Amino acid sequence: MSPERRAATVNAMLPFYLHDAARVTAALAVTCTRHESDSDMGWDDAAAFLRQTLQRLRDAGADRSEADRERFAAQLHQELFPDPEPYRWPDRSSRSRSLWRRILVRARVRWQHQTAGTAGIGHQLLFLRLGGHVIGKLDYQVCEPCRRGLVRKLDVDHSYRGLGLGSRAIHRMQHRHPGYTWRTTVQYPTAGTFWQNVSTAPGLFDEDAHGACQHLDPDREN
């Protein structure tokens, strides 16, 4: 073990013993006794760590008085858990550039819907295109008889995330199929906090809120 790692381990042990030299000394005595009776359990390594821990307390003067021990404990706590730096908000020009990029991308994106071949129940795709490139795709199924929908997967290219394109895709899907009850699968990353941020009716994407449609299957292609 490197000296740096050993020193970090000693610092982590100190709070466990309340930065108290008497406690460390007592633990060292027990460890040495155990090492004499069983040398195969790593007691020798434990004793070495405790000796270094005790020396750390002595070097800091924490073994002299209660006041010195408390002072050392506060200093070590600051080293282990330093105060976080204040958050720096992006400057106004940076926020302005981000806003204009959001406006321009959302204005230029084009939507291409691919309908299913099976009437009533089918697999739907909604592509997000920017120029000649596909930058996102919404994959979902609908059941016309049950008025139910299943969002299989929503994916937006990493460089275009955070611009509201995913939310617009969901709203566009809902507008195309008004009055449908929707749910989504839980195995995709998009099934996390994204749905909580989409401005939709409460429980709209709760898989258990309305029960599952027997015609919709996450593994069904059409």
Parse the chain into domains and list their residue ranges. 3-80, 105-197
| Percentage of the chain lying above the pLDDT 70 cut | 72
Question: Which tokens sit at 180?
Answer: 């449908």
Q: What is the pLDDT of residue 91?
A: 62
The reported pTM is 0.49
How many angstroms separate the CA atoms of 15 and 11, rounded?
A: 8
Phi, psi of 96, deg, nearest 5? -65, -45
Report the candidate in 148, 147, 165, 168 with the shortest Cα–Cα distance to residue 156: 165
Q: What are phi and psi of 90, to 5 degrees?
A: -60, 145
Structure tokens at 20: 């108290």
pLDDT of residue 40: 61
Predicted confidence at residue 221, as pLDDT, reads: 47
Is the pLDDT score of 59 beyond 50? yes
What span, in angstroms and rounded, lies between the C-alpha atoms of 219 and 176?
A: 23
Whether the CB-CB separation of 116 and 133 falls below 8 Å is answered with: no
Can you tell me which residue has the tokens 């990353």? 189
User: What kind of architecture, by CATH, is found in domain 105-197?
Assistant: 3-Layer(aba) Sandwich (3.40)
**Strands (DSSP E) found in the chain:** 110-114, 121-130, 133-143, 148-156, 181-184
pLDDT averaged over the chain?
77
With a pLDDT cut of 90, the percent of the chain lying above it is: 7
Are 185 and 217 spatial neighbours (Cβ–Cβ below 8 Å)?
A: no
Q: Tell me which of 30 and 201 has the higher pLDDT.
A: 30
- Find, among 140, 137, 136, 132, the residue nearest to 182 by Cα: 140
Distance CA 189, CA 58 (A): 52
> Which residues contact residue 137 at a Cβ distance below 8 angstroms, ignoring those fewer than 6 apart?
125, 126, 127, 128, 153, 154, 155
Question: 114-143, pLDDT tens digit by residue?
Answer: 876 555 567 889 999 988 899 999 998 888
Residue 85's pLDDT is what?
A: 66
Q: pLDDT at position 62, please?
A: 87
Residue-wise pLDDT for 19-49, tens only, equals 888 888 988 888 888 767 666 667 778 888 8
72-78 mean pLDDT = 84
Angle among Cα 186, 171, 150 to the nearest 5 degrees reads 35
Task: For residue 167, give both structure tokens.
Answer: 């939310």
- Cα 23 to chain centroid distance, Å, stands at 39
Position 198 pLDDT exceeds 60: yes
Which of 63-77, 158-172, 185-199 has the weakest average pLDDT? 185-199
